[in-house]
Structures are given as structure tokens and as C-alpha cells.
């Protein structure tokens, strides 16, 4: 059995042709099934008939959150090659469900070879190569997914976020106290000098 990947369709389709129709066949050769979550407009479907005809792809349309969670649970990897996303919630959700991720550095704070594969934004060939790699290294990919689940449930929690935030504030306050400590003698010396001059 091959890899089961869950991409976010708008991003994947955009990368295929840079916003237009793809040139040539879909460039992925690995053994896997891809279930695409998200809406696809009629013009995109018309422009990408070859892609939509690929039997390895199933287009699910828009999914409510409970259904999306079930798709995470059945997938080996989330494919989310966003051009510009910041820190995408969808990546953390998929990692928490035990998925490896194929994404860009613009999508989430993930490490290539640790959480999955990180590809350059806008590089369709790199996405295809990452999927091919995943299909050939399924045991390693699933180990990444298991490690991702452990990472999210132990590190990316509200409690851990609160602890980290408090630690940052503590560091800032300690730095301010040190800076104020260095300034205080200078102010005292200036005040003493003023009193001496007055006398």
C-alpha cells in the first residue's frame, strides 16, 4: 500500500501551473492516493482537466472540521505548499493527528527531515519530488508522523505556550532590571556632584 496524502487543493493546484493550466502530465510518479480537501472553482476545473482525471486524486470539496479531522487521521501526510501563510493552523492540526507534512518555510515552523519535507514556495517540481520521496520511504514518513503527534501534544499545548510566554516576559524584565541597575549609580553620582557645586 502506498502513501495516503491530504493536500489543500487551492495551493496545490496553483503551484501546478503558476496560476494557470499545467504544462504536460502531472509530474508525480509515486504509489499513493491523494484526497484533496477544499473548494475548487469551475474555471480551475476547466483549466486542469488532466489533473482532475488522475485516478489517484479524490476531490472532497469543502469539509466541516469533524470531517477534516477524520481525513487527517487516515492520511500519512499533509501536503500544504503555501506561498505565504505565516504559521498555518492546519499544519499543527495535521501533525497532532499523526501526519508528516510536506510544506514550505512560509507555512509553518517545521524542520526538513524531522517533521516531513520542506520545499521552496512556488516549486511544483519540489512538491512532486517530496511526494515521490515519501512514497519510497513510507516507514520513515510514518515515524515522522508519530513523532509529530508526540511533539504537538507535549510542546504545542496551551499550557506550554503560557509557560514559554511567561519565560519571555521574565527574561525581558530581568534585562530591564539589569539596565536600570547600571543607570542608577550614574544618576546618583550626578546628583552628588550637583550638591557639591551648590555648596
pLDDT for 49: 75
pLDDT tier, 6 (very low <50, low <70, confident <90, very high otherwise): low
Q: pTM, whole model, 2 decimals?
A: 0.66
CB 98 within 8 A of CB 75: no
Tell me how long the chain is: 199
C-alpha to C-alpha distance for 190 and 21, rounded to whole angstroms? 73
Neighbours of 118 (CB within 10 A): 21
pLDDT tier, 15 (very low <50, low <70, confident <90, very high otherwise): very low
The domain 3-154 is placed in CATH, from the list 1.10.3720.10, 3.40.50.2000, 3.90.280.10, 3.30.2130.10, at 3.40.50.2000
Domain ranges of the chain: 3-154, 158-199
Q: In what order do the strands lie in the sheet with 100-103?
A: 57-61, 32-37, 3-7, 77-80, 100-103, 116-118
Say whether pLDDT at 25 is over 60. Answer: no
In terms of Cα–Cα distance, which of 117, 139, 142 is closest to 128? 117
Amino acid at each position: 500500500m502506498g502513501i495516503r496524502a491530504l493536500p489543500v487543493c487551492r495551493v496545490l493546484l496553483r503551484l501546478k501551473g503558476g496560476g494557470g493550466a499545467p504544462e504536460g502530465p502531472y509530474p508525480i510518479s509515486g504509489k499513493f492516493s491523494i484526497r484533496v480537501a477544499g473548494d475548487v472553482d469551475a474555471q480551475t476545473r476547466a483549466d486542469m482537466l488532466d489533473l482532475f482525471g488522475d485516478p489517484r486524486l479524490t476531490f472532497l470539496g469543502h469539509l466541516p472540521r469533524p470531517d477534516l479531522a477524520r481525513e487527517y487521521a487516515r492520511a500519512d501526510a499533509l501536503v500544504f505548499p503555501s506561498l505565504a501563510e505565516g504559521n498555518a493552523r492546519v499544519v499543527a492540526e495535521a501533525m497532532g493527528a499523526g501526519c508528516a507534512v510536506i510544506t514550505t518555510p512560509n507555512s509553518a515552523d517545521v524542520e526538513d527531515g524531522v517533521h516531513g519535507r520542506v520545499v521552496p514556495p512556488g516549486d511544483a517540481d519540489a512538491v512532486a519530488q517530496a511526494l515521490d520521496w515519501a512514497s519510497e520511504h513510507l516507514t520513515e514518513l510514518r515515524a515522522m508522523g508519530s513523532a509529530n503527534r508526540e511533539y504537538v501534544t507535549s510542546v504545542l499545548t496551551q499550557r506550554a505556550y503560557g509557560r514559554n510566554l511567561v519565560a519571555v516576559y521574565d527574561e525581558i524584565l530581568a534585562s530591564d532590571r539589569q539596565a536600570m541597575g547600571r543607570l542608577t549609580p550614574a544618576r546618583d553620582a550626578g546628583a552628588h556632584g550637583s550638591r557639591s557645586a551648590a555648596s
